[in-house]
Structure formats: structure tokens, C-alpha cells
Amino acid sequence: MDNGRPANGVAPKVASALKTFLYRIADDELIIAHRNSEWTGLGPILEEDIAFSSIAQDKLGHSLAIYSILHEVFGEEDPDTIAFTRSEKDFTCCHLVELPIGDYAFSLVRHLLFDLAEQLRFEMLENSLFEPLAKVARKVKGEIKYHLFHAVTWVTQLGAKGNEESKARTQTALNEAFPLALGIFEPGDHDDILKGEGIFEGEETLKERWLTALTSIVEEADLTLPDVQSVEPAYGGRKGYHTEHLQPLLDEMAEVFRIDPGAEW
Amino acid sequence: MIIKSLDPRVTRLEIPAEDQSFEPLAPMDQHETYEVFHQEKRGGQPVHVGSLHAPNTELALVMAKEQYGRRSRTVAIWVVPTSEIMTISVEDADIFETTPEKDYREAKGYRVGTKLKAWKKQQEGATNG
């Protein structure tokens, strides 16, 4: 090529920023998928067990879609290898998704905080100039709409429509999960490059939108959002520094794969 | 001693092995039931596909979507509290029985075919002539 660009048409500097960005998104999706799937068979009631498990499977699909872009456009390993063979320090997921499932209130509140950010992020990406990602964003829109419908309905049920205990437990979960959720938006060097290329408007913009939307959802649920100025965001995950919960999760997730990595499924 | 399971999630729950005093839930100690209707195409009939338990109507809808809408083509889901459905009780099912000697009430009771043929023939005669 005479413009010096590689076969995928993306300049090296942009490619590197995009890869960082894509790994963050896909790792978040994979780990939250695994965590949420831990409720399968243990959910509070049968109907909810099915719904939450189904949502977890959707998240797994989202991670597959993004890992596939990394594989097909950027020549990274195939999705299974990426998901099952990397060690903790190679993952760039945020701490929010790593935490154990806790009680159901924690899992539901995490689901709300994560999925709201996910929805707004993909909404921003629908018109991204990086078409493979824009395509995924448009494709998963309906699924995420349902995920958020599920999350908001439950949190409102436990808050505004619940009893004293359900409300207190949901509030406790919110207090615990909120600083972790702020880690979703951990800044990085890739941010400005992607912004300049019209690929993504940036984590800061996303965070502002998320806070606005979250404030009204939390109010509607008769809960109190912790003050964003007074909490310490859980950063580090995006740079490969994780909580002690990630490596055991990875071991468990990859246990069967590692018995025979070449097996045909 | 805690219960050790092949499923690591169960082991993590740290359920004491000696404490087996699980009490089954009292009968009817569960959420209300809702009936679910599924529509496959716009303008098509919503078809009753089953029921589910839920704490309220909103959550019934949330769960019905995954329960009944995730496998096949779906454009709409309806949920109705079972208690809101009026029906005739099983003991009174004889209300649907009817005596058979009422041909005049049935479409088959009228021999329209011969009359129709005769009328068509007459019409043909009129145009030909």
C-alpha cells in the first residue's frame, strides 16, 4: 500500500489504541458473563435463574464479537485462545466485574451499573468510524435494551417497591459497587487518539452520561447514589492490576479448556 | 465440615455438612402466577404459551420475555395475572354441552351447494342469451 498503512487500513498508532480499547470492552464482557453465569442453577427463583443466565450468555456473545474483531482485523489469537490462555496481568477488565457474585442484591446492582455503561458506550459506538465495531454496537442494541430493562425493573422493585430489608440491602450493594463501577471509565492514553479519529468520544464523556442516567434511575428506585466526589474510583484493572478474585476465576473458567486445548467441541 | 461438591460454586457456599435442617417451603409460599401470551408476527394472534411465577406484573413481563420469547421469533409478549382471568369451573363444564338435534343452527344444516349451482347456471344462461 502506498500510504504505508497495513492491510487492515488502520495506521499503527490507531491500531494500538483500538486494540487497547477493544480488549477492555471484551474482557469486561467475558468476566461479567462468567460471574453472572455463576448464578445458573442457584438463582432466587426459576424464572429469574433463566433470565439472568440468558443475560450472561448474551454477554459472552458480546465478548466473542469483540475478540473476533481483534482476531480478524488485527491478527490477534483466536477468541478461545484469548479467553482461556492469558494470565491475569494480560486482562484489562475493571475490578467491578471481577468481584465474586456476593448476594443477589450485589449481583443485580452490579448488573445495573455495568449494563447502563455498556448501553451508553455501544450507543456512542453506533456511529463510530471504525465500522466493525459500529456494526457490533448496532447488533447488540436490542439485547442490551432487555438487560437494562431487567436490571432497572429489579432494582426499582427492591428499592421503591420493596420492603425495608430489600431496600437496605440494595443500598448497601450500591454503596459497595459504585466506586468499583467508576473503574469502568479509567482513563488511558488511547482515549485521545480514538477521539481524534472519530472512533469513540472518550471515557470521560461516557462517564458523564452514565452519571446522569444513573442518577435518575437511582432516584426512581428511591435509593441514594454515593457522592461521586467523595469516593475513590477503583482504578488499576485497565493496566493489568487486578483484585485477588480474578486469577481464581480464570483458573476455574479455563479448567476444562486446559485439559485438551485442541479439542473439537 | 462443609459440603464439598464437584461444582465449585456449591463448595463456595460453605454449607455445613452436618446441618441438614432444610425446611421445605410452605405450600403456596411463592409468587403469584401469570399467564403468558406470545405473538409471532405483527397482526398475528397472541397465543397462550404457558405461565410463570413473579412478584408483580412488571417482573412477570421481564421474565416472560426470556422464558417464552428467547427461542422463537417474537414481536410481542403479553402477561396477565392468572387471578384476573374469568373462567367457567370444571364442575360446570357441562355448560358447553348441547343437544345434537339442531341442524338449523349449524352451517351444515343448509344445502347451499345445489342452490348455488342452479343460480350459476341461470347466470350463465342470462349472459349467453
The predicted complex's ipTM stands at 0.83
Query: Given a cut of 80, is residue B110 above it in pLDDT?
Result: no
Say which residue the cell 482485523 belongs to.
A73
Instruction: Classify residue B16 by its DSSP letter.
Output: B
Cβ density class A61-72: b for 16+ within 10 Å, e for less: ebbbbbbbbbbe
Does the pLDDT of residue B38 top 50, yes or no?
Answer: yes
Cβ contact, residue pair A157, B8, below 8 Å: no
- Contact across the interface for A157 and B55, Cβ inside 8 Å: yes
Chain A residue numbers touching B58 (CB-CB < 8 A): 153, 157
Residues of chain B contacting A55 with CB distance shorter than 8 Å: 66
- Please tell me if residue A103 touches chain B, with a CB cutoff of 8 Å: no
The answer to whether A213 and A119 are in contact (CB under 8 A) is no
Written as one string, the DSSP assignment of A105-161 is HHHHHHHHHHHHHHHHHHHHHTT-SSHHHHHHHHHHHHHHHHHHHHHHHHHHHHTTT
Pick among B12, B32, B33, B58 to test the A interface (most A CBs inside 10 A)? B58
* B19 is a domain residue: no
Q: A-chain residues within 8 Å CB-CB of B9?
A: 38, 42
Whether B45 is in a domain gets the answer yes
Indicate the residue of A50, A153, A157 with minimum beta-carbon distance to B67.
Answer: A50
Which of B3, B5, B9 has the highest number of chain A CBs within 10 A, making it the mutation to test binding with A? B9
Contact assessment for residue A21 and residue A193, using Cβ atoms and an 8 Å cutoff: no
Domain span at residue B48 reads 29-87+97-124
Contact residues, A window 203-262, toward B, CB-based 8 Å cutoff: 252
Beta bridge partners of B77: B38
**Residue B47 belongs to some domain of the structure:** yes
Instruction: Please report which confidence band the pLDDT of residue A2 belongs to, taking 50, 70 and 90 as the band edges.
Output: very low
A61, A141, A208, A246: CA torsion to nearest 10: -10
Q: What is the dihedral of CA A107, A109, A114, A120, to 10 degrees?
A: 150
Helix (H) or strand (E) holding A190: helix A190-196
Q: Which residues of B touch A (CB under 8 A)?
A: 8-10, 12, 30-31, 52-56, 58-59, 62-63, 65-67, 70
- The residue among B54 and A262 whose pLDDT is bigger is B54
- Nearest to A48, CA basis, from B54, B7, B79, B80: B54
- Is the pLDDT confidence value at B24 over 70? yes
Q: What is the CATH number of the domain that holds B105?
A: 3.10.20.520
* pLDDT at residue B27, as a whole number: 66
Q: What are phi and psi of A92, to 5 degrees?
A: -120, 30
Instruction: State how far Cα A153 lies from the chain centre.
Output: 20
What DSSP line would sit under A10-35, residue for residue?
Answer: --HHHHHHHHHHHHHHHHHHHHHHHH
- Domain spans of chain A? 12-259
8 A C-beta contact, residue A183 and residue A236: yes
* Distance between A82 CA and the closest CA of chain B, angstroms: 23
Q: What is the CATH number of domain A12-259?
A: 1.20.1260.10
Q: How far is B67 from chain A (nearest CA, A)?
A: 7
The answer to whether A240 and A92 are in contact (CB under 8 A) is yes
Contact B66 A252 (CB under 8 A): no
Report which secondary-structure segment, H or E, holds B62: helix B57-69
Q: How confident is the model at residue A99 (pLDDT cuts 50, 70, 90)?
A: very high
Confirm or reject contact between A157 and chain B (CB < 8 A): yes
Number of domains comprising chain B = 1
> For residue range A14-35, what is the model confidence (pLDDT) as tens digits?
999 999 999 999 999 999 999 9
Q: Rounded to a whole number, what is the distance in Å from the CA of B87 to chain A's nearest CA?
A: 26
Does any CB of chain B come closer than 8 Å to the CB of residue A1?
A: no
Distance CA B42, CA A129 (A): 34
Is A50 within 8 Å of B63 when comparing Cβ atoms?
A: yes
Residue A3 has pLDDT above 60, yes or no: no
* Cα first-last separation, chain A: 39
What backbone torsions phi and psi does residue B59 show, to the nearest 5 degrees? -70, -30
- Read off the amino acid at residue B58: E
Q: What's the pLDDT at A109? A: 98
B36 located within any domain: yes
Average pLDDT, chain A: 95
Q: Which residue of B has its CA nearest to A147?
A: B62
Nearest partner of A108 among A66, A143, A150, A136, judged by Cα:
A150
pLDDT tens-digit map of A217-234? 999 999 999 999 999 999
Nearest in space to A69 (alpha carbons), one of A124, A144, A152, A130: A130
pLDDT tens-digit series, residues B61-109: 999 999 999 888 999 999 999 999 999 999 999 998 888 888 788 777 7
State how far the Cα of A88 lies from the Cα of B80, in Å rounded to an integer.
48
For the beta carbon of residue A82, count every other beta carbon within 10 angstroms. Answer: 23
Q: At A201, is the secondary structure helix, strand, or coil?
A: coil
User: Least CA distance to B30: which residue of chain A?
Assistant: A45
Provide the pLDDT for residue A1. 40
Test the B interface: residue of A39, A45, A57, A250 with most B CBs within 10 Å: A45
Q: How far is B109 from chain A (nearest CA, A)?
A: 50
User: Quick check: B93 and B72 in contact, CB under 8 A?
Assistant: no
Residue with cell 487492515: A8
Q: What is the pLDDT of residues A129-181, one digit of tens each?
A: 999 999 999 999 999 999 999 999 999 999 999 999 999 999 999 999 999 99
Residue A49 or residue B14, greater confidence: A49
Please judge whether A54 and B55 are an interchain contact, meaning their C-beta atoms are less than 8 angstroms apart: no
CA angle at A183 for the pair A253 and B12, rounded to the nearest 5°: 35
Phi, psi for residue B77 in degrees, rounded to 5: -130, 135
